Amino acid sequence: MINKNRRDLAIATGSAITMAAVGLPARAATPGRKLGYAIVGLGVYGLGVIIPQFKNCQHSKLVALVSGDPVKAKRVAAEYGVPERSIYNYQNFDSIKDNPDIDIVYVCLPVSMHAEYTIRAAAAGKHVMCEKPMAVSSAECEAMIAACKKAGKKLMIGYRCHFEAYNLEAVRLARSGAIGKLRYFRSEHGFTAGNPNAWRLKKALSGGGSLMDIGIYALNAARYMTGEEPIAVYAKETTDRNDPRFREVEDMIEFQLEFPSGVIGSCMSMYSANQNHVLLVGDKGRIDMEPGTRYDGNKLWVGQDRSNPVTPPPGPGATQWAGQLDHLSLCIINNKEPIVAGEEGLRDIRIIEAVYRSAREQKRIALV
């Protein structure tokens, strides 16, 4: 089971306190070199989002690339100052063990490849950041955790919202009693999927549809916003199988979460509509975020309606991604466990498996 108290302390208090809660300085100077990351996968996220963030990091730097496209890899390496000797492909990946510049491998690949490259990275003696969802099954998640523990290396899952200022402030407000006793949580996450041939619409590559992809934001938010672990789920799927996009994976799936305190969580994911919303309702008010988990432009209100917008204090990094990248570096430097370690990803996948089972069997599933 996850150490919920540690996770709650880390995410609930926000900004500088977030890092201090796990024994790490927030944006403080640490003696020695920046830790080196190898980015595995030069797709939309790895190349377009993560790599440009190293300029905002204080404790992390880009030192290596792993790609199946040598032309692209050389172009990116030249642009970001990565030496050609530190370009790898998927066949010679294991030789990263001989590169002392690489401390951390960041896996930005289709979900079906997460387990393999996490396990191989650990075997090569490297710490691992792995994108979410962690893997296609809880069994794979368990194998990833075991491999990193065996190698004595840290494993962190890329839950960027745990370092995002609006989410941190929403959690702080909820814990402070700003809306009284929490009674209800709601979140809808979705976007309109396009190309039927995209990897995320192929079950063998993605592990599932909208729930695995965008729905994990709603699920993880339900856990860190409430500070509780759900004890049961009930789910229903709505998918038009005549739509070529959804021949293999689900479109819409709604799921209800029951929490020990009596809080009810109502979540939905979808691939046929755009939505990004997080709502917490207490007996004295509400915390409303729309959008709540986007890359930018998030908004937050607290009170009875949307008449009281809130501007949060800065998060633990210059950006949520810089905060995330530096958090793992600082955990390694200070020998601390990440606030979103592999066990966090495992817990989400176990719940997702229960959601799929509930939708398939059309019954409430108790979580153990």
Contacts of 66 (CB under 8 A, 6+ apart): 38, 39, 40, 41, 87, 88, 89, 90, 93, 96, 105
What is the number of other CB atoms lying within 10 angstroms of the CB of residue 239?
20
**Interhelix angle 138-151/342-361, nearest 10 degrees:** 170
The pair phi, psi for residue 236, each rounded to 5°, is -145, 135
Report the phi/psi class of residue 227: left, alpha or beta, with left for phi > 0 and alpha for psi in -120 to 50.
Answer: left
d(CA 71, CA 320): 30
d(CA 62, CA 342): 22
Q: Please give the full DSSP string across 145-202, using - where no structure is assigned.
A: HHHHHHHT--EEE--GGGG-HHHHHHHHHHHHTTTSSEEEEEEEEEEE---TTSGGG-
> Distances in Å between the alpha carbon of 265 and those of 183, 215, 224, 256, 258?
9, 13, 12, 6, 6
Produce one character per residue of 280-315: b if its CB has 16 or more CB atoms within 10 Å, e if not.
bbbeebbbbbbbbbeeeebebbbbeeeeeebebeeb
Residues annotated catalytic, as ranges: 132, 217
The pair phi, psi for residue 216, each rounded to 5°, is -65, -25
d(CA 10, CA 341): 12
CA dihedral 310, 53, 219, 282 (to 10 degrees): -10
Start-end of H helices in the chain: 4-12, 15-21, 44-45, 70-80, 114-123, 138-151, 165-176, 203-206, 210-213, 215-226, 320-334, 342-361
